[in-house]
């Protein structure tokens, strides 16, 4: 359905249909309250803290589409369950978060994930294993009251120096990524958790981070169809309930606009050419690619007009920002810049998604930890021979986290309690001093995406020049492989990846140190 300015539904029609309460201030003091409720229904808001503020609860009663949780909302699984139960007392919201396994986790934000991420699963290339891992993650989400997972990542990571995707991708092959994306969708949705396949039309060929700018995918439409779109086509055929947009510009498709704001990308390509009729979710609008170009409120209008149904706002917008966005969307309809029919279409798709949400499924039970560790063990690789550990000295090279990952713990500490572990900034480290402390001891050097960090490579090379017997453990993508006595590649920095790697060095199963 579409509507022009002259054919917009009247206030009485919309109010009757949506029944808006005005207690939150989400609706304007004048104007159409039903229209404001439709505008609010397109927003996935966020908030700080481990309990829901009153403005969120009132906003849900007044029609907000749902919430997106982050690490700062999580203290424990039980606490998240109580939080989501309270949200459901106010309404029947979409409750989402980013749970990709591997480096990007929200439920395990303070400890690191028990599941390896996509790069490790792609390395193993067992679609049955991928489905089991995602089913186990879905069971964790269901127990906590989450109903939409912002995953899996379906990006084909063809740029080695991609600063934002990397180990979040199943790999560089479209067919590999496609079959594992399908397995992930099946694993999530068989447990009643809606998948949100991301980032359409593909973020894997970029050299910039869309949190900070608008990345460029310099690909023709033919190349896009042969490479980036293959996993999304497969996900659509597998029945993915939602797809997330990318804040990337593809000049031949979107011009200078990011895909999130492009009708050519979301309506012509995704809806018409690929035939997708599920929920289209925007990536977070507070990312600089949107907020620093057109602004939050106008970005919301443009994304809805382009074909998005549900707008993820990200962690930064305040209650005042949310009210302004609702008012701005409603004003755009009144002014004729956004068809009311577009908002109604979006609301209809989100309602169908809510109707699909299944009852929580905890059938994975205790298998969750087992399947995650099994996957990590199958993914880790060892090149060379590591001698038995003697009073190990571990140097972990500090690597700035991406915004998508956040401050999630990583490293070998929980699994090598007998070791002395130092974490150093490569630019500040004294190689000679480190070598002195490692004298007559096993030296283990832990890096993360060393191929992207020249100073990390320089420090590793300096250490290996004096200690060629050292072990190098790469917890990112194993693209740069120095000549070490032993080289371990984990394909991710999750807690499970670290355990699997240390087990190879130690010769047997481990129990976390205190």
Q: pLDDT digit string (tens) for 230-279?
A: 999 999 999 999 999 999 999 999 999 999 999 999 999 999 999 999 99
Please list the residues that pair with 244 across neighbouring strands. 281
Strand ranges (DSSP E) for 371-513?
381-384, 393-397, 420-424, 443-447, 471-474, 486-489
pLDDT digits (tens, 9 = 90+) for 265-323: 999 999 999 999 999 999 999 999 899 999 999 999 999 999 999 999 999 999 999 99
What are the φ/ψ torsions at residue 211 (nearest 5 degrees)? -65, -25
- Angle, vertex CA 178, rays to CA 173 and CA 180, nearest 5: 100
Cis before 199 (ω within 30): yes
Q: What is the mean pLDDT of residues 182-198?
A: 97
- Per-residue pLDDT at 55: 97
Q: What is the mean pLDDT of residues 471-479?
A: 97
**How much of the chain, in percent, has pLDDT values that exceed 90?**
83
Does residue 473 surpass a pLDDT of 60? yes
- Per-residue pLDDT at 506: 87
- Per-residue pLDDT at 32: 84
pLDDT digits (tens, 9 = 90+) for 2-57: 332 222 233 333 333 333 333 445 554 446 889 999 999 999 999 999 999 999 99
C-alpha distances in Å from residue 182, one per residue of 152, 257, 271, 275: 9, 29, 19, 17
Task: Report which of 81, 78, 37 is spatially closest to residue 60, judged by C-alpha positions.
Answer: 37
pLDDT bracket for residue 510 (50, 70, 90): low
Q: How many CB atoms lie within 10 A of CB 233?
A: 18
For 19, how many CA atoms within 13 A lie in the half-sphere containing its CB? 2
Q: What is the mean pLDDT of residues 169-197?
A: 97
Its sign, for the CA torsion 421, 427, 428, 433, is positive
pLDDT bracket for residue 508 (50, 70, 90): low
- Per-residue pLDDT at 213: 81
Here the tokens at position 115 are: 């599941």
Give the residue with greater pLDDT, 208 vs 131.
Answer: 131
Q: How many CB atoms lie within 10 A of CB 513?
A: 11
pLDDT digits (tens, 9 = 90+) for 205-229: 888 777 878 889 999 999 999 999 9
**How much of the chain, in percent, has pLDDT values that exceed 70?**
90
Its sign, for the CA torsion 9, 326, 311, 335, is positive
Q: Name 29's Cβ contacts closer than 8 Å, sequence gap at least 6.
A: none
- Per-residue pLDDT at 276: 98
- Per-residue pLDDT at 415: 94
Could you give the 3-state DSSP secondary structure of residue 445? strand
Query: What is the overall mean pLDDT for the chain?
Result: 91
Does residue 67 surpass a pLDDT of 50? yes
Q: Name 36's Cβ contacts closer than 8 Å, sequence gap at least 6.
A: 20, 26, 27, 28, 63, 326, 327, 330
Distance from C-alpha of 456 to C-alpha of 439, rounded to nearest angstrom: 21
Least confident of 2-11, 406-415, 421-430, 487-496: 2-11
pLDDT bracket for residue 399 (50, 70, 90): very high
pLDDT digits (tens, 9 = 90+) for 134-152: 999 999 999 999 999 999 9
pLDDT bracket for residue 95 (50, 70, 90): very high
Does residue 492 surpass a pLDDT of 60? yes
Distance from C-alpha of 404 to C-alpha of 423, rounded to nearest angstrom: 22
Q: Decide: pTM greater than 0.85.
A: yes
pLDDT digits (tens, 9 = 90+) for 451-461: 999 999 999 99
Q: What is the DSSP string of 469-483?
A: T-EEEE-S---S---
Give yes or no for a contact between 144 and 191, defined as CB atoms under 8 angstroms apart.
Answer: no
Does residue 124 surpass a pLDDT of 80? yes
Strands 443-447 and 486-489, how do they pair?
Answer: unpaired
Please list the residues that pair with 45 across neighbouring strands. 67
pLDDT bracket for residue 386 (50, 70, 90): confident
Could you give the 3-state DSSP secondary structure of residue 429? coil
Q: What is the mean pLDDT of residues 176-198?
A: 97
| Active site (catalytic) residues | 211, 283
Strands 242-245 and 148-149, how do they pair?
Answer: unpaired
- Per-residue pLDDT at 214: 86
- Per-residue pLDDT at 339: 96
First to last CA, the chain: 59
Q: How many CB atoms lie within 10 A of CB 293?
A: 17
Does residue 513 surpass a pLDDT of 60? no
The secondary element (H helix, E strand) that includes residue 18 is helix 11-18
Q: What is the mean pLDDT of residues 380-390?
A: 93
C-alpha distances in Å from residue 452, one per residue of 208, 260, 448: 12, 27, 9
């Amino acid at each position: 359905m579409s509507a022009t300015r002259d054919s917009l539904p009247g206030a009485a029609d919309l109010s009757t249909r949506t029944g808006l309460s005005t207690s939150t201030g989400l609706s304007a003091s004048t104007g159409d309250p039903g229209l404001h409720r439709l505008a609010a229904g397109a927003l996935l808001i966020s908030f700080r803290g481990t309990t829901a503020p009153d403005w969120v609860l009132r906003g849900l009663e007044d029609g907000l589409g749902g919430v997106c949780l982050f690490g700062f909302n999580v203290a424990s699984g039980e606490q998240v369950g109580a939080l989501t139960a309270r949200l459901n007392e106010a309404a029947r919201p979409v409750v989402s978060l980013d749970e990709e396994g591997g480096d990007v986790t929200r439920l395990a934000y303070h400890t690191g994930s028990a599941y390896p991420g996509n790069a490790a699963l792609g390395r193993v290339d067992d679609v049955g294993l991928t489905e089991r891992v995602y089913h186990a993650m879905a069971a964790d989400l269901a127990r906590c009251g989450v109903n939409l997972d912002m995953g899996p990542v379906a990006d084909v990571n063809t740029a080695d120096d991609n600063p934002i995707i990397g180990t979040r991708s199943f790999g560089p092959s479209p067919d590999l990524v496609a079959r594992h994306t399908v397995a992930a969708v099946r694993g999530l949705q068989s447990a009643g958790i809606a998948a949100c396949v991301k980032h359409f039309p593909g973020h894997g060929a970029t050299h910039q981070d869309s949190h900070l700018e608008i990345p460029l995918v310099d690909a023709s439409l033919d190349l896009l169809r042969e490479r980036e779109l293959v996993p999304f086509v497969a996900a659509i055929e597998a029945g993915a309930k939602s797809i997330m947009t990318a804040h990337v510009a593809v000049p031949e498709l979107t011009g200078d606009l990011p895909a999130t704001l492009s009708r050519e990308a979301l309506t012509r390509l995704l809806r018409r050419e690929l035939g997708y009729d599920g929920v289209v979710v925007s990536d977070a609008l507070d990312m600089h690619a949107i907020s620093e170009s057109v602004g939050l409120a106008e970005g919301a209008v443009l994304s809805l007009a382009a074909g998005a149904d549900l707008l993820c706002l990200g962690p930064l917008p305040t209650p005042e920002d949310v009210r302004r966005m609702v008012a701005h969307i409603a004003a755009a309809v009144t002014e004729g810049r956004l068809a009311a029919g577009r908002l109604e279409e979006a609301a209809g798709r989100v309602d169908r998604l809510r109707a699909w949400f299944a009852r929580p499924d905890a059938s994975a039970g205790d298998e969750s930890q087992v399947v995650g560790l099994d996957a990590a063990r199958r993914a880790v690789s060892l090149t060379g021979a590591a001698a038995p550990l003697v009073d190990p000295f571990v140097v972990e090279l500090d690597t700035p986290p991406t915004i998508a990952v956040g401050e999630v713990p990583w490293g070998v500490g929980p699994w090598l309690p007998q070791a002395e572990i130092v974490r150093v900034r490569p630019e500040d480290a004294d190689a000679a001093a480190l070598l002195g402390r490692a004298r007559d001891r096993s030296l283990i050097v832990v890096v993360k995406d060393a191929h992207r960090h020249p100073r990390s490579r320089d420090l590793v090379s300096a250490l290996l020049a004096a200690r060629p017997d050292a072990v190098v453990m790469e917890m990112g993508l194993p693209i740069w492989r120095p000549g070490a006595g032993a080289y371990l590649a984990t394909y991710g920095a999750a807690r499970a990846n670290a355990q699997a790697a240390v087990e190879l060095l130690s010769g047997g199963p481990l129990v976390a140190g205190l």
